[in-house]
Amino acid sequence: MASKSLGVYLRGFFIMSRIGKKAVPIPDAATATVDGRTVTVKGPKGELSAVLVREVLAKMTDNGVLVEPINSSKRARSMWGMSRTIIANLVAGVTDGYTKHLEIKGVGYRAILKGKNLQLALGLSHDVLYPIPDGIEIKCASQTDIEISGIDKQRVGQVAAEIRRYRPPEPYKGKGIRYKDEYVFRKEGKKK
């Protein structure tokens, strides 16, 4: 079936992605270029690019970057909204950046920056040294607060998850590393 502007006909029904049909607006501080399947965005914080899947087509318009599916297959419709969100994340990253906050709970648990490493004391027999990847900035406002920031949303989330994995919060006393607004389900301990 033929694709019609922003919607797709499928077995007589007009299928449309609510997210995918919106163009990604490009702010004045950023510039975007589309070269085939590669979308590159430059902004005040840096430059990011992404290669889109074959099932979608991106093009520049007056309103910003517009993503359309190339046909009415299920995969093309599935990738439509996701591809638009990837481009929106690139724009937000180079203009504002992304930040994740972690907090450490527990007696003697602490985090200290040592050069290009984050040193974590988490009640283990040794201190954990986490090497800070390129493009990621880590700050420790106090010994129990960790702020991870960068322009790539995926990398910021990955670094936060890797740090949290060293000592996830346990349900009895709540000790461990958690996201700032994370709810930790607590269990009642044994009673005598």
Residue pLDDT, tens place only, 83-97: 999 999 999 999 999
pLDDT range class, residue 1, cuts 50, 70, 90? very low
Ordered by where they begin, the domains of the chain are 16-95 (3.90.930.12), 98-179 (3.90.930.12)
Average pLDDT over residues 141-156: 95
Sign of the four-CA dihedral 114, 120, 124, 129: negative
Average pLDDT over residues 121-130: 94
Average pLDDT over residues 136-164: 95
Residue pLDDT, tens place only, 161-188: 999 999 999 999 989 999 999 999 999 8
Sign of the four-CA dihedral 68, 72, 74, 75: negative
3-state DSSP call for residue 81? helix
Q: Which residue has the tokens 């998850």?
A: 161
Residue pLDDT, tens place only, 32-88: 999 989 999 999 999 999 999 999 999 999 999 999 999 888 898 889 999 999 999
pLDDT range class, residue 143, cuts 50, 70, 90? very high
Sign of the four-CA dihedral 57, 71, 21, 80: negative
8-state DSSP, 24 = B
pLDDT range class, residue 128, cuts 50, 70, 90? very high
Number of residues written out for the chain: 192
Alpha helices in the chain (DSSP H): 74-95, 153-165
User: What torsion, rounded to 10 degrees, do the Cα atoms 17, 18, 23, 25 define?
Assistant: -140
Distance between CA atoms of 129 and 152, rounded to whole angstroms?
23
Residue 191's pLDDT is 82
Q: Count of CB atoms within 10 A of residue 126's CB?
A: 7
138 in Cβ contact with 150 (< 8 Å): no
Residue 12's pLDDT is 46
